[in-house]
Every structure is written in C-alpha cells, then in structure tokens.
A and B are shown apart, each in its own frame.
Chain A
Amino acid sequence: MKKMLICLILMAGFSIVGIQSNARAETVYVACIDDFSGPYAYSGMVYLKGIKLALKEANYTVLGKKIELITRDTELKPPVGVRKLREVVEKYQPFFVFQSESSSVGLAMAQEALNLKTPIFVEGFATQITGSECNRYTFRWDAPNFAGARSGFVAFLKVNPKVKAVYAIVDNNASGKDMIEQQEEIFKARGGKIIKTVFTPLGNADFGSHLTEALSLNPDGLVFNCYGTGNTNLTKQIWEFGISKKMPVMSGFGGMTMFRGMPAEAPEGIYYGVNWWHTLDNKWTKDFVARWKKEYGENPEDLGVAGYMGMWLVLQTAKKVKSLKPKDLIIGLEKFGEFDGPTGKEFIRAWDHQVVHSFQVGRGKSVKDKKENDDYLEIVGSAREYPNATPQESSCKFKTKDEEL
C-alpha cells in the first residue's frame, strides 16, 4: 500500500513536470537588451516600441507559439550588455536578440552572440558591425556610418561648396569616431580639412567651451556627430551661440526624440542624417505612420522603424522557414530577397547581413514652415551608398558554410 502510494505520488509529480515543460515549450522568447538608462535611454524606449508593435501585429505568436519579450538594460556599458546577454540566453534561450544605438555596446554584444550562437539585430552606426567585425549571427537594419557619411555629408558639401575647413565635435565612442573618420576621408578627397576634432563624453551637457573655441577659430562650417541627449544639448547651444546663422552646420545623426527635447527654432538650417523620416512619400511609410500613431498617439522615428523592421523580418523569416532554430533563421534571412521597406525597395546582403536601404539627409525647418510640431526636417537628399559592392571587396569575412552555424 505504502509502495503504491509512493508510486502514485511520483507519477503525479512526473505528469505535473511534463505538463509544465509542455506549457513552457509553447512559449518562445525574444529579448531586447538595450540602453534604457543614461544618455541613450529614450532611444532604447523608442526601439522597444517598434519591436512591440511588430509583435502586437503578429498577436505575440509565431508558428503557433506564444512569444514573450524579455527586456534588459545595458546601462550603456559594453560589459553589462554582454553579461545581460549571457544571462538571458542561459535562462530563456531567445530565438532572436535585439540591441540598438550604442555601437560600443552593440559590437561587444555581437561578439558574445556569436559565442553563444544566438542571432542578434544590432542597430549601432559603426561601420564595423557589418564590416570588419561582422559575424554570421549579427544583422543590422540601420545604415552604417559609411552610408551616412556618403549620403548625408556629401549632400551637405554639395549644398555648401565653400566649406573647406570645419570644426568637429564628436561623441567619444565607436560610432562617433567611425563617423568622423568616414567624413574626413570624404572631406580630404575634396580638398577639405578638419581643423580640430573634439571628442566629448556621451550625453555631455555643456558645449560652451567648444563652441566659443569654434567661433574663435572661424571655420567655414561645423560638424557634430553626437547622439541622444548630447545631440539635443549641442543643437540647442549651437542655436544659442548663433552659430547656425553664421556658418553651415551638419549633424551626422538626427532623430525625432532628440528634436523634441530642444527649442523648436534650434534645428533650423542644420543638416541631419537620418535613416528614415515620417514624411517620406511612400505607401509603407504612410501605413506605418498611421499604425504607429494609433498605437502610441505620436509620430514614429527611425529608431522605432529599426526595431519594427528587425522584429518583422525575423517573424516573416520564421514563417517562411517554419523554424525558430538560429541556423534556419540566419539562412532564411540571408535568402529573404527584396522587400517593400520603409525607404522603398530594400534587401539584406547575405554576405555581411546589412539591410540595404537609402539614407536620408534633412535640413531643419523654420518654425513658420512647419506643418505640425514634429515637422522638423525637410528631406533634401537621399542616397544608397554602402561599403563594398561585392563580397570580395568586403572587410566582412565570416564563415559562410551553413554546417558551421
């Protein structure tokens, strides 16, 4: 009797464990490990909104399984990002991970994702992410600085041909340094010269010293590659010092939330590079803006689009390949082909995992020309300039044999 009772208890126990493990198998995970605190905090929030919208449109399900979104804060520190990635992979085995904006954090996490054999979308701007430090598990929708400089900076120089000497203020991180190197290469080839480059801490609050120095050196133009609150603060102070009225000014990066944090007049006349802008004249954009507004009650920005596109591409691929295994998803994404994206026809390059799309350059509108509060930019240029047209030229050399995945 006693033995029978023990057997019954054990059987009941095993069946409960079995039921639980079945239930767990019905839930699959994706993770957004991003900067939710520090100077890039809001970029992480916007990126997450994009991911959530794509998931909501898919009813948080894929291949009949429920998707759960795990979030972790990198605190804008590469070691923290790597640690959180390890923790999430160990605990949840997500079928895809997403990270945005900080290239330094992104590059570190991309290497760790390779070690952990977990595919990841990394949306930093450093060219290396899908260039010299690429790997088979890493994808990106955002254009690299190479494209940003050749689209944005070239357009700026075309409009301002007299600019031959510029003063540069740059974020002291992988993306800022990469962008100024790309810009310098272009500028030198055109006979221009960067008279001084200042590297500032991320999210710097006061640029007064640099701006007074720039005014004393009297350059032909000012270039700044700062992101997040640093960009907001600097644009505001450029306007306060009257610099944008005195000389042409170009920012390598721009974004709606950054604009919303500054006086409406501040961005007027300044050129900004953006991956996407909500007034682009295409069907995808119009539909997306309407859906985003319905969900969040405001206009979307390129970071939200990056989050949405990454998640959307992964879900579409999963449906196509009918699998959530990393190997199948990676091969599926490589073979995704051309699709209608935010900037028109877009595609994923199989040999470096870069989504190729056009990059926009906008000029800050005056307050009287604005049609709505968020109408900060007039898109004045758009180009599709990516490094290395062929795999042979590319500095990205990952192992391409599928069996090595």
Chain B
Amino acid sequence: MILKGAWDEIRGPFLVKLTRRNELTSMVLAQVVNGICWGMILGLLALGLTIIFGMLNIINFAHGAIYAISIYLAYTSIYILRIPIPGISTFWGALIIIPIFMGLLGLVIERFLIRPILNAQHEYQLLLTFSLLLILQEAIAIIWGTMPLPFDSPKSLVGVLNLKFMVYPLYRIFVIMITVILAIIFWFFLEKTKYGSVVRGGIEDSEMMACLGINISLVRNFTFGLGIAVAALSGVLAAPISGTLKPLMGMTNLIACFVIVAIGGLGSFSGAIIGGILVGVIKSFIIMVEPKASELAMFFLMAIVLLLRPRGLFGKR
C-alpha cells in the first residue's frame, strides 16, 4: 500500500511532464506545419518577384496588386460567371485559367509599359510599378467594391486530416503539397532545361547573353509573364485561406515578399522558397507568443541575415 502510494507520487508528476512534453511537441510541430503552409505561398509569390527583379532589374511594386486582382478574378470566375470547364469544378478551373490569363497580361504589361523604360533611371521604374499598384488597387475597389467578399475552399477539400500530432484542414495540406510540387517543377525548369539556363544566365548577366545571340527582349518578356503567372497562382491558391477578400489584401503580402527576397537573395529561386518557409514558420511561432510582434519578427530575421550575409542566404550579387 505504502509502496503503491510512493509509486503514484513518482509516476504522477512524470506522467504530467510526459503529457506536457507531448503537448509541447505537437504544438511545435503544428506551428511548423502551419508556418510551412503560409511560407510556401509567400515563397511562391516571392519567386515571381525575384525572377522579375533578377531578369529585368526592376522592382515590381505592382506584384501585390497582381496577387490581389488574381484572387478577385478567381472570385468572379467561381461565384459570378461560374466558368464551365468540362470535368473540372470552377475552383480548379480558376486555378488553371487565372494564372494563364494573368501571365498573358504580364506579357502585354512588359511589352508596352516596362520595356520602354527598362533603360531609364530606377526612379522612373519605381514610379511606373507603384502607379500600376495604385491603379490596380483602385480598379479592384471600383469593380468589386470595398465590402469584404467570401472565398471558400473547394468542396472536395473541405474537412480535416488527422496527422497524429494534430488535425489539419485538408485544403491547407493540399496547399503545402501543391506548392512543393510547383517548387520542384520550377526548380526543374530553371535548373535543368535549356530555357531555364537562358533565364538564369540572363539573371546573372543579360548583356553577355545578348552578345551570345540570345533574344534577350523575348526572354525578359517571357520571364515577366512567368513571374506574374506565378503571383496569380499563389493568389488563387491562397484565396480560400487568406480571409475575406479586400482591395488592399496584396499589400501585406508584398511587404513580406520583399523581406523574403532580401533574406533569400535577389534573383535566387532557392532563396525565395527557403526564405518564404523561414518567414512563415517564424511568424507562426511568434504569433503564438505575441501576435502584435509577428509582423516585426520577419524584419528582425531580415536584419540578422543581412548583417551576417548582405547578399542574402542564396544571393550571388
């Protein structure tokens, strides 16, 4: 009897400690998964920004507005027009159509707006992309209004999956999986194909590529379109989990994107993805402790990285 009492005394706190450790582990893992989910979306968005910067040497301030307008276009195609694509539900249809449409729009923007000022001073380029940002934001407010609009997950991905250490919404797991697949595709495209090597070469030294007989204007045009399409893709993917739709919704993510590009290194594919994950995970942890500090945390991370490695984690220049 006495022995049992003593055993209970030892076992009790041990079990509590064990349970707490399990709770803590599951909490940490849960935050990592959550951080990766958002980090991958931001990474994808930053990827578009970084390849545009790398290739065209232009900071595209309109990137956040492109992200936002893609979400609004997806909303229109799903909830208003209900674009019928045989065999594909409207969400999946939007996921395919909107990035293609925006990519084509990107080609037009590059040809008629960016190209004429490509060799002008940086101030002109900044003014142009910044005014594009304002125009697109105002266009959203005029066309769709300022009232928040809903955007639901596709019906086939409603529900949760038990990951043992946590339950997590199916759609968010899908986002992680699809962004990982997309990252692999982009990596393969940029690292293992002839066109990818042209783009990388252009990012490194576009004048040299032109001297080698590459039609650099065409490459720039395509790269800008690709960057815009990637932003649109991340927008449509993020739409069901980014809260109600608001005209200024791209701004917060644009700032995060600049931070990611600075952390990862300008023009770096790996930098954008790794930087995105780092920012996502850090924000996810800090928000648990002090929500107000979560936005600041990424700037601290950026400051530390830039102090230790001014080129960013994977930057070459």
Contacts and interface: CB of A to CB of B under 8 A. Distances in A.
B146 A209 contact: no
A198 B146 CA distance: 28
Given A206-B38, A229-B246, A199 B30 contact: no
B147 interface: yes
Interface in A212-250: 212-213, 215-218, 229, 232-233, 236-237, 240-242
Nearest to A205: B243
Contacts of B166: 212, 215-216
A172 B148 CA distance: 20
A206 B30 contact: no
Contacts, number: 103
B34 A209 contact: yes
Select the residue from A45, A172, A216, A263 with max chain B CB neighbours within 10 A: A216
A79 interface: no
A46 to B, nearest CB: 10
A325 to B, nearest CB: 37
A261 to B, nearest CB: 5
A212 B34 contact: yes
**Contact-residue size bin, chain B (C-beta under 8 Å from the other chain):** 35 or more
B288 A229 contact: no
B37 A263 contact: no
B291 A201 contact: yes
B101 interface: no
Contacts of A263: 150, 152
A210 B160 contact: no
Contacts of B285: 209
B288 A213 contact: yes
A42 B147 contact: yes
Given A213-B30, A217-B23, A232-B244, A240 B148 contact: no
Select the residue from A45, A200, A215 with max chain B CB neighbours within 10 A: A215
B147 A41 contact: yes
B149 interface: yes
A229 B149 CA distance: 10
B147 A206 contact: no
Given A210-B287, A212-B27, A45 B147 contact: yes
A262 interface: yes
A268 B195 CA distance: 51
Interface stretch (B4-12, B80-88, B168-176): B168-176
A241 B146 contact: no
Given A205-B243, A241-B160, A261-B148, A199 B291 contact: yes
B224 to A, nearest CB: 28
Interface string A4-37: 0000000000000000000000000000000001
B144 to A, nearest CB: 13
A213 B168 CA distance: 12
Select the residue from A42, A203, A233, A240 with max chain B CB neighbours within 10 A: A240
Interface in B134-155: 146-150, 152-153
Contacts of B177: none
A261 B148 CA distance: 7
B244 A261 contact: yes
B147 A241 contact: no
A93 interface: no
B171 A209 contact: no
Contact of B172 (A208, A213, A236): A208
A215 B152 CA distance: 22
Given A41-B146, A206-B38, A261-B244, A215 B30 contact: yes
Contacts of B194: none
A240 B171 contact: yes
A200 B286 CA distance: 12
A37 B169 contact: no
27 contacts: A41-B146, A41-B147, A41-B148, A198-B288, A201-B291, A203-B243, A205-B252, A206-B38, A206-B243, A208-B37, A208-B38, A209-B35, A209-B288, A212-B34, A213-B27, A215-B167, A216-B27, A217-B23, A218-B23, A229-B244, A229-B246, A237-B169, A240-B158, A240-B169, A242-B159, A242-B169, A263-B152
Interface of A: 37, 41-42, 45, 172, 198-201, 203-206, 208-210, 212-213, 215-218, 229, 232-233, 236-237, 240-242, 260-263
Interface of B: 23, 26-27, 30-31, 33-35, 37-38, 146-150, 152-153, 158-160, 166-169, 171-172, 241-244, 246, 249, 252, 283-285, 287-288, 291-292
Given A232-B148, A262-B150, 4 more contacts: A206-B242, A209-B34, A215-B30, A229-B244
